[in-house]
Amino acid sequence: MCGIVGAVAQRNITPILVEGLKRLEYRGYDSCGIALHIEGKLERSRSTSRVAELEKQVAEAHLEGFTGIAHTRWATHGAPASHNAHPHFSRGRIALVHNGIIENHDELRDELRAAGYEFESQTDTEVIAHLVDHLYTGDLFETVQLATRRLTGAFAIAVFCRDEPHRVVGARRGSPLIVGLGDGENFLASDALALAGTTDQIIYLEEGDVVDLQMQRIWIVDANGRQVAREVKTVHAHTGAVELGPYRHYMQKEIFEQPRAIADTLEGVESITPDIFGDDAYKVFKKIDSVLILACGTSYYAGLTAKYWLEAVAGVRTDVEIASEYRYRDSVPNPNALVVTISQSGETADTLAALRHAQSQDMQHTLTICNAATSAMVRECALAYITRAGVEVGVASTKAFTTQLAALFLLTLTLAQVKGRLPEEREVAFLKEMRHLPAAITAVLALEPQIIAWAEAFARKENALFLGRGIHYPIALEGALKLKEISYIHAEAYPAGELKHGPLALVTEEMPVVTVAPADSMIEKLKSNMQEVRARGGELYVFADGDSRITSSEGVHVIRMPEHYGLLSPILHVVPLQLLAYHTALARGTDVDKPRNLAKSVTVE
């Protein structure tokens, strides 16, 4: 989603700003722009194409300067058009970029129009630019503090002024913003990754902070205008991991990285002990009587899968809620629940807001399963398990999901142990199975040629149904999500027992029905559901395993999974569904890594 980079230096900062935007590209955007202070004037370049195109424009126009800001935009207010791209200017004096959503923009726009300001865009951002200009006192730092008090909603902004050439001011509320410290130069960004290679000395601004960035110093005030010192952290943001290597797309690379990602995530776990979640974990786990999982998208499906494990193995009652629903719902708070947020990025606005909502309801036992060690989610939760998937670039999450599942299974075993439900021989057996996961996934990846053959048939369809039962129902949901996200085929998932309560009406010979069918306790029931589909002419595409005893016949296509994996089977069964979505999208020629309208990190609600 939107990304910010800003700099004040004694050298040309254009390459730093452009490189920063490139590092943020994977988050998803539909336009980009850069503004610099050049010879007493504000200059800018904007593009609705890729950052590489912006880079060319900037080079052709010889835009070079010591002070500037840059942005990748994911449209919320106003179409993805050049005039809506950031930076926005006000009266040739103020340049501003913004992440987030300003909720009172209509009322501010009316006020500013009455004061004589003309608007060139439909964005809420231009309103902030004009507001800063309108309130300008001759001191940008002071003005931004005044202006942000007038804003409701979520924002991270970076702004500079024609009349103060060596200064960039940043402010945040609800959206992340960091400061990068250099030698005689300082930087701003929405994510430390943007500054990788430029500086690793990072300050995470807190809610309500406003920062004054100059070459030799930075100055931070909190929401009350009091000067504050914030801790400087050394952050080794990943850099090399975003190379594509021999793969055609990041998604393909990331699917094939799963054996390594799971091995890394489990590295160092010799036995089950609460310490792996944080120092106080034992005390907390002892106290809690239930689990409340909050997440969005693919992470939510990881949570749904974990519910089956947590209830069956640990005997702990578990609720799983979509973060954007939970935060606005009147729920019954339980101070003895363990609140678990699951997030690849650790930045998802709705999940963060849901966490804060739970905390405000006196639910203080918080834990996150997160792939970004320095994210707000990790900072704001008492306990954490960091998955080591590495940087995930493809918008459609793959390795983040399977590593989340691995971490959630560890959580399940740990809670089971603390609750006295994990005899040692079970612990040893489960750990052995977990350690075998990388090899088991490698064997599943070898099914790719068979899946490619199926994908050719799928590419000609406009609808697909996914069925699963029990613990594989969330996997069917994730398979359908993958397919719709990147191939734009309408896909829905159902617990197979629900078929006859509605979706069966959709089944004709035009409807491919993907069935996740391992030989677990539900297999006989699932076979009956498959008969219901065949009887209506529906074409079945079944992921079975050796013990499922389902054979190919007319209208029934079967791919056999190499092993039967018991409780951990969801981690294996999602992999062929990822490959099916990938190869179907490839056959349809869609933009696999950057599907239309979607963003990697959803930092607005």
Q: Which residues bind ligand G6P (CB under 6 A)?
A: 296-299, 343-345, 348, 351, 395, 397, 598, 600-602
Q: How far apart are CA 179 and CA 170, in angstroms?
A: 9
| Cβ-proximal residues to 591 (8 Å cutoff; 6+ apart), any chain | none
Which CB, 81 or 598, lies closer to ligand G6P?
598
At 300, give phi and psi (nearest 5°). Answer: -65, -40
| Cβ-proximal residues to 150 (8 Å cutoff; 6+ apart), any chain | 104, 108, 131, 135
Catalytic residue among 2, 32, 161, 370: 2
Q: How far apart are CA 100 and CA 403, in angstroms?
A: 29
Q: How far apart are CA 275 and CA 283, in angstroms?
A: 10
The Cα-based distances of 152 to 101, 149, 173, 356 in angstroms read 9, 8, 9, 18
Which CB, 145 or 298, lies closer to ligand G6P?
298
Dihedral angle computed from the Cα positions of residues 254, 258, 261 and 265, in that order, rounded to the nearest 10 degrees: 140
Task: Tell the residue number behind the tokens 């849901």, with chain if given.
Answer: 354
Element housing 112 (H / E): helix 105-114
Helix runs in 467-546, H state only: 473-487, 523-535
Asked whether 300 and 344 are in contact (CB, 8 A), the reply is no
Active-site residue 600, yes or no? yes
Shortest Å, Cβ 227 to ligand G6P: 33
Which CB, 80 or 497, lies closer to ligand G6P?
80
Selection from 215, 212, 66 nearest residue 145 by Cα: 212
Shortest Å, Cβ 383 to ligand G6P: 17
Which CB, 344 or 487, lies closer to ligand G6P?
344
Which CB, 295 or 444, lies closer to ligand G6P?
295
| Cβ-proximal residues to 26 (8 Å cutoff; 6+ apart), any chain | 242, 250, 391, 393, 394, 395, 593, 600
**Two tokens at 438?**
């990388």
Which CB, 364 or 597, lies closer to ligand G6P?
597
Q: How far apart are CA 317 and CA 338, in angstroms?
A: 10
Task: Tell the residue number behind the tokens 């994990």, with chain if given.
Answer: 422
The Cα-based distances of 311 to 120, 518, 542 in angstroms read 55, 20, 28
CB-based closest residue to ligand G6P: 297
Which CB, 365 or 399, lies closer to ligand G6P?
399
Active-site residue 253, yes or no? no
Shortest Å, Cβ 596 to ligand G6P: 12
Give the active site residues.
2, 600
